[in-house]
Chains A and B, each alone.
Chain A
Amino acid sequence: MAKLLLVAVVFGIVAIPIVTSRDPSAARGLRKALALTAAFNAAYYLALRFVLPRLY
């Protein structure tokens, strides 16, 4: 599980732009992609901080 959590950063970088590209508006979709990527990275950090130690 710890490995899955660590490698999740790869899927976050890839999946978010692909998912947000479905937005009808190109500009809005791009803004979403960037905002969600930033949010994902923050959540990823929190997971590394609080969840990862429990998984070791």
Chain B
Amino acid sequence: MPAGSSQTPSRSPFRLAAGVFLAVQALVAVTLLAMPSTWHVEAVLLAEPHLRMPALVNPDRGRAQGGEAPGWAAADLVLSRRNLLSIIQETDLLSRWEKDRGFVLRAVDRLRSARGPIPMLDDRRDQLVEILRKRLYVKALPEGTVAIGIDWPSARTAFVLVEAAQQKFLETRRAREVQPVDEVIAILERRAAESGDAVTAARAELVREEALLPPALRGEARRTRPVLRTASPTAADPLAAALASARADLDRLETSRAARRKDAEARLSTLRTVYSDRHPSVLAAQDAFASWDEPDPQEGALRRRIRDLETGHLAGDTSASEDEAAEEAMATPAEAEDTQRPLVAAGLRGGVQRDPRVPGARPRIANGIDGRERTDADGVLVRSGSSRAGPMDEVPLPAIRDRRADPPGLVAARGRLHIVALEQERILRRIEAARIEADVVRAAFAYRYMIVVPAEVPVEPVRPRPLVVVLGGILCGVVLGAFTFLATSRAPSPGTGPVTVSRTRRLGVAAITGGVAVSTVLLLANAANPLIAVAPTLLAAAAWWLVTAPLRQSTLVLLFSMLVLDAPGDSSGRWQSPWHLLGHLLNSNLNLTLPVPALRFAGVDAIFALLAAVAVGRRMAGKGVDTDGSWPAPAPLVGAVFVSLGAMAVLVATGMAQGGDLGQVLWQCHVPAMLLAMVLLFLAALRGPRDLAPLARTVVAAALVKACLAVWVRVTVALPVESLPTATSHADSMLFASSACLLVVMAVEAPGRRTFGRLLLLSPILIAGMVANNRRLVWVEIVAALVVVYFMLPRSRAKRTIQRGLVLAAPVLLLYMVAGWNSGSRVFAPVAKVRSVVDSKSDRSTEERDVENYNLVKNLQDNPFLGMGFGREYVQYTRGDDISHLFAQWRFIPHNSLLGLLAFGGVLGFTTLFAFLTVGLYLAARAYRATADPLLRSACLTVVSVAVVFLIQAYGDMAIVSWHGVFLLAPALAAAGKLASARGAWRQRARRPSDQGSPVPSLHPLPSSASVPSPSTRP
């Protein structure tokens, strides 16, 4: 009887069960009466970018790129504190909230206010903001809709809140879309005012200059004053317009070149962070960047053209006759167009000329450099034929009066006035365009958001649903009643007289029943999906089984689950098994799946803690569930595990002392620490050789399941190997290789129809799985493990035959390798595999591994004795590919775990970290020599095979942080310890008192398997 418990006559189990059933029904009734109803309201808006209206208004404008999607940041906009406060105020939510709460919650509020200070208005408002943030949701869906909804204890208030939130969303979006255009208009108007001042000043200056002229010329000068009298700069001064156009082109070109140069610089900078300076990509980017510093021919041509136009402009000002210029300046645009059709040779020097051979010919600005002269139909002399001649070469130009007689100050003042007047006109045009844009945006907004599903006052609550709660309550009552009946009608130890139940058991049953009943009823009443209410019952059943079942069973179930269930990211994220949720719960932190932020640990951690507590509790209580018939764990193995744990702690301290990151320490050490802890758990769980057969069957069964899954995924997920590199996971290589080695070793050590039949039947499935999983490392692991096994086998005729065969086949194999080394033929596919492993230049992946190995060796050389410690990333002496977008911890957890541990732990840290493996392998090899039983010998060889497979995977693919590594190596090493104890390969100095009554008392080496519990015996 467990200490601290007492046995008392219990009530009738049937009565207890009936009482539990009735209690659950009462709980259901109370819940239905007291639980406030929840009402759901949702409104859906169709939000789509409306580009047609702006495009119709301004067809020349390019389509906006990278603009905001209509649903962009909808949740952030609506759920901002300012917005929620506004909603609270507009809907009078403070007073509504008091009325909407259920009477139970109102009673709780009254109790609180009676016992403590009444919350201030601001505090209550803050509370409501938080409540709204939790209950109000805004979802921008991919199909372009925005859903705004809420769950609230009052139907009317829910409707009002959703309406208000929807209105706020539209207002915010409207403000975001219209306000920027209004802001631009305001800026432009300010600039226009400044420009107007500049025009006034320039005009005043011109008047001052005119005042300096002789009185006879003042009238003419005033007549020649440039007057802003047309909307078109071309009509006012075509030469200036051409100049402005050329300058605008130059501006655009320079802006574009600057942007592209910046892009090239950014790309070069990005590549330099990824690659070394000699990398071809970096060199190419450098060349591309340098090319932007070279002069651009197009830009040069534009600059020349502007220079020419400027020269031409000034020349035109001084060469044209005063009368004609005045005539042109005072003329209307129509008159200018009708009466004068001169040409401007844009980009050419020379200015305005008149053909002396044609009387009355009008002046032209023509090429003055290398053009050939010609006379057009109007008798105008034009010099053309320049190499720069083009479509712009002949532009109509109004006649320009010769102003050479004007003083320079007057000419300059006139030019300045002209320029500022053009600038003002340009700004006024932009203001007009912006006003049109603002009108268009306002008009388009009405069509941009359409209410697809309007908010409505709901007619029935979403929770609780009385029928579901009542039916679920009945089912829950029946299940818990049955559980109570079974748990209280079976005493832990059969006795005579009335059935007795320990107090501890009764308390346990009551706690489980009460917890499951309350949580189930609450979930039935509150959960969106009533099926979730099954979870407490299932969890309680699983916990009950874990606590009561022998550890050898629970650990094997855990092992099978961890090997079979898919972890997040398996199958490259392209496929998930139906039970992936369980796999995610076990493999990744629970808070990633469950909405409880505090659950920052994996399900496997929780189960391990529970099983460890069970093991310790049973030992302390003296229960023999796990220890009866169990061989003791060898002290060196247990000691080595603690030494390795200590080494890990020292390396963590070393790393943290040098500025290590604790978060990264958890990434680096969590799984390795669990590996060591699992060795201890399996040592406590496995009794000895008789538990090894179930262990082997579990591992092989898991491998077969995963092999079938790999084939299924490869066949059904129609993706190329590049998109689906692994059908299941990288770590499954260890599972496949270990299982394959186990089957081979069994056939070698215990040859017979059964073992050969198993090998022939199961190995094709495993091979198919390995091929489907597409990992070359698995073949290396099998070959390496079998080579080690081969050297461990005693000399025999078969071994001699194999040796002779290998010697004879060596030349042929060598020829085959040489012939196929550079061949792409399928005949030489095995050679290609070998080459991809050993030849760095075979592919990018192998090359990157070499870079990583080189960096790790250099890091080891920096800290050879104790390493750099955990929590720090290794230094890149040669820059490899940056894979942080795929695996953020890539410099904390390198692919080569062995060299990584050498770099992080140094020689001393590495040796002590792997002390448990050295001891485990030593015990396995020693037990192998100490026994003649073929099944036990094959078990020992399997342990060695698993260790080799683990080490190869650790060398090539991060096995040290793989759960598969934990659940293959830990039971293997525990099995080695138990085998060493059972076969006397390691003598224990003393027995534990609890093992005195064990049915396996012998500690001496056993000459044969006669007195050893058979591995095939079921536990």
A interface residues, Cβ below 8 angstroms from B: 3, 6-7, 9-10, 13-18, 20-22, 26, 29-30, 33-34, 37-38, 41-42, 44-45, 48-49, 52, 56
Chain A neighbourhood of B987, CB < 8 A: 26
Q: Give bound CA distance, A46 to B1007, whole Å.
A: 44
Quote the shortest CB–CB distance from A39 to chain B (angstroms): 9
Q: Are the CB atoms of B918 and A13 closer together than 8 Å?
A: yes
Q: Which of B853, B899, B902, B986 contacts A26 (CB 8 A)?
A: B986
Q: Give bound CA distance, A17 to B952, whole Å.
A: 17
B648 within 8 A of A: no
B244 within 8 A of A: no
Q: Give bound CA distance, A15 to B907, whole Å.
A: 18
Chain A neighbourhood of B907, CB < 8 A: 38, 41-42, 44-45
Interface string of B732-771 (1 = CB under 8 A from A): 0000000000000000000000000000000000000000
Quote the shortest CB–CB distance from B975 to chain A (angstroms): 16
Q: Give bound CA distance, A17 to B986, whole Å.
A: 14
Q: Are the CB atoms of A21 and B925 closer together than 8 Å?
A: yes
Return 9 A-B CB contacts under 8 Å, by A number. Answer: A3-B838, A10-B952, A20-B922, A21-B922, A21-B925, A44-B907, A45-B902, A52-B857, A56-B854
Instruction: Tell whether A7 pairs with B922 under 8 Å between CB atoms, given A37-B911, A48-B857.
Output: no
Most buried by B among A6, A18, A45: A18
Q: Give bound CA distance, A3 to B898, whole Å.
A: 14
Q: Which of A6, A7, A17, A48 contacts B925 (CB 8 A)?
A: A17
Q: Which of B636, B902, B915, B948 contacts A14 (CB 8 A)?
A: B948
Quote the shortest CB–CB distance from A27 to chain B (angstroms): 8
B430 within 8 A of A: no
Q: Are the CB atoms of A7 and B955 closer together than 8 Å?
A: yes
Instruction: Tell whether A18 pairs with B955 under 8 Å between CB atoms, given A6-B899, A10-B948, A29-B926.
Output: no
Given contacts A14-B944, A41-B907, A45-B907, 11 further A-B contacts (CB under 8 A): A9-B898, A9-B899, A10-B948, A13-B951, A21-B926, A29-B922, A45-B860, A45-B864, A48-B857, A48-B861, A49-B864
Instruction: Tell whether A38 pairs with B911 under 8 Å between CB atoms, given A18-B944, A21-B925, A48-B861.
Output: yes
Chain B neighbourhood of A16, CB < 8 A: 918
B921 within 8 A of A: yes
Q: Are the CB atoms of A26 and B985 closer together than 8 Å?
A: yes
**Cβ-closest chain A residue relative to B906:** A45
Q: Give bound CA distance, A33 to B987, whole Å.
A: 17
Q: Are the CB atoms of A17 and B918 closer together than 8 Å?
A: yes
Name B768-827 residues within 8 Å CB distance of A: 784, 788, 791-792
Chain B neighbourhood of A44, CB < 8 A: 907
Chain B neighbourhood of A22, CB < 8 A: 929
B interface residues, Cβ below 8 angstroms from A: 636, 784, 788, 791-792, 838, 853-854, 857, 860-861, 864, 898-899, 902, 907, 910-911, 914-915, 917-919, 921-922, 925-926, 928-929, 944, 947-948, 951-952, 955, 985-987
Q: Give bound CA distance, A20 to B583, whole Å.
A: 41
Instruction: Tell whether A48 pairs with B922 under 8 Å between CB atoms, given A10-B784, A22-B929.
Output: no
Chain B neighbourhood of A7, CB < 8 A: 955
Q: Are the CB atoms of A17 and B922 closer together than 8 Å?
A: yes
Q: Give bound CA distance, A9 to B958, whole Å.
A: 15
Q: Give bound CA distance, A34 to B142, whole Å.
A: 61
Q: Give bound CA distance, A35 to B917, whole Å.
A: 14
Instruction: Tell whether A41 pairs with B910 under 8 Å between CB atoms, given A10-B898, A26-B986.
Output: yes
Chain A neighbourhood of B854, CB < 8 A: 56
Instruction: Tell whether A33 pairs with B922 under 8 Å between CB atoms, given A18-B792, A41-B907, A52-B857.
Output: yes
Q: Give bound CA distance, A42 to B860, whole Å.
A: 12
Chain A neighbourhood of B898, CB < 8 A: 9-10
Q: Which of A9, A34, A49, A56 contacts B915 (CB 8 A)?
A: A34
Chain B neighbourhood of A56, CB < 8 A: 854
**Cβ-closest chain A residue relative to B954:** A10
Most buried by B among A16, A42, A48: A48
Quote the shortest CB–CB distance from A31 to chain B (angstroms): 10
Those 5 A-B pairs whose CB atoms lie nearest each other, nearest first: A21-B925, A17-B922, A17-B921, A21-B926, A18-B925
Quote the shortest CB–CB distance from A42 to chain B (angstroms): 5
**Cβ-closest chain A residue relative to B839:** A3
Q: Give bound CA distance, A32 to B556, whole Å.
A: 34
Q: Are the CB atoms of A6 and B915 closer together than 8 Å?
A: no
Chain A neighbourhood of B948, CB < 8 A: 10, 14
Q: Are the CB atoms of B922 and A30 closer together than 8 Å?
A: yes
Instruction: Tell whether A30 pairs with B919 under 8 Å between CB atoms, given A10-B951, A38-B911, A41-B911.
Output: yes
Chain A neighbourhood of B860, CB < 8 A: 45, 48
Quote the shortest CB–CB distance from B640 to chain A (angstroms): 9
Q: Give bound CA distance, A10 to B864, whole Å.
A: 19
Most buried by B among A3, A16, A22: A3
Q: Are the CB atoms of A13 and B899 closer together than 8 Å?
A: no
Chain A neighbourhood of B951, CB < 8 A: 10, 13-14
Instruction: Tell whether A33 pairs with B899 under 8 Å between CB atoms, given A14-B947, A18-B944.
Output: no
Chain A neighbourhood of B902, CB < 8 A: 9, 41, 45
**Cβ-closest chain B residue relative to A39:** B911
Q: Give bound CA distance, A29 to B509, whole Å.
A: 52
Instruction: Tell whether A21 pairs with B857 under 8 Å between CB atoms, given A9-B898, A29-B922, A34-B915.
Output: no
Quote the shortest CB–CB distance from B940 to chain A (angstroms): 10
Quote the shortest CB–CB distance from B540 to chain A (angstroms): 44
Chain A neighbourhood of B986, CB < 8 A: 26
Q: Give bound CA distance, A14 to B911, whole Å.
A: 13
Q: Give bound CA distance, A50 to B860, whole Å.
A: 13
Q: Give bound CA distance, A28 to B186, whole Å.
A: 91
Q: Are the CB atoms of A30 and B792 closer together than 8 Å?
A: no
Q: Give bound CA distance, A18 to B792, whole Å.
A: 8
Quote the shortest CB–CB distance from A38 to chain B (angstroms): 5
Q: Are the CB atoms of A13 and B917 closer together than 8 Å?
A: yes
Quote the shortest CB–CB distance from A33 to chain B (angstroms): 5
Quote the shortest CB–CB distance from B728 to chain A (angstroms): 24
**Cβ-closest chain A residue relative to B984:** A26
Q: Give bound CA distance, A18 to B910, whole Å.
A: 19
Quote the shortest CB–CB distance from A6 to chain B (angstroms): 6
Q: Give bound CA distance, A17 to B947, whole Å.
A: 12
Q: Are the CB atoms of B861 and A13 closer together than 8 Å?
A: no
Chain A neighbourhood of B921, CB < 8 A: 13-14, 17-18
**Cβ-closest chain A residue relative to B987:** A26
Q: Give bound CA distance, A26 to B791, whole Å.
A: 21
**Cβ-closest chain B residue relative to A16:** B918
Chain A neighbourhood of B864, CB < 8 A: 45, 49
Quote the shortest CB–CB distance from A43 to chain B (angstroms): 10
Q: Are the CB atoms of B914 and A13 closer together than 8 Å?
A: yes
Q: Are the CB atoms of A34 and B918 closer together than 8 Å?
A: yes
Chain A neighbourhood of B636, CB < 8 A: 30
Chain B neighbourhood of A41, CB < 8 A: 902, 907, 910-911
Quote the shortest CB–CB distance from B883 to chain A (angstroms): 21
Q: Give bound CA distance, A43 to B921, whole Å.
A: 21
Chain B neighbourhood of A37, CB < 8 A: 911, 914, 918
Chain A neighbourhood of B792, CB < 8 A: 18
Quote the shortest CB–CB distance from B909 to chain A (angstroms): 10
Chain B neighbourhood of A10, CB < 8 A: 784, 898, 948, 951-952, 955
Q: Give bound CA distance, A50 to B925, whole Å.
A: 33
Q: Give bound CA distance, A52 to B854, whole Å.
A: 10
Q: Give bound CA distance, A20 to B636, whole Å.
A: 15
Instruction: Tell whether A33 pairs with B985 under 8 Å between CB atoms, given A6-B899, A14-B788.
Output: no
Chain A neighbourhood of B919, CB < 8 A: 17, 30, 33-34
**Cβ-closest chain A residue relative to B956:** A7
Q: Give bound CA distance, A30 to B920, whole Å.
A: 10
Chain A neighbourhood of B917, CB < 8 A: 13
Chain B neighbourhood of A17, CB < 8 A: 918-919, 921-922, 925
Q: Give bound CA distance, A10 to B986, whole Å.
A: 25
Chain B neighbourhood of A49, CB < 8 A: 861, 864
**Cβ-closest chain B residue relative to A38:** B911
Q: Give bound CA distance, A37 to B926, whole Å.
A: 17
Quote the shortest CB–CB distance from B813 to chain A (angstroms): 18
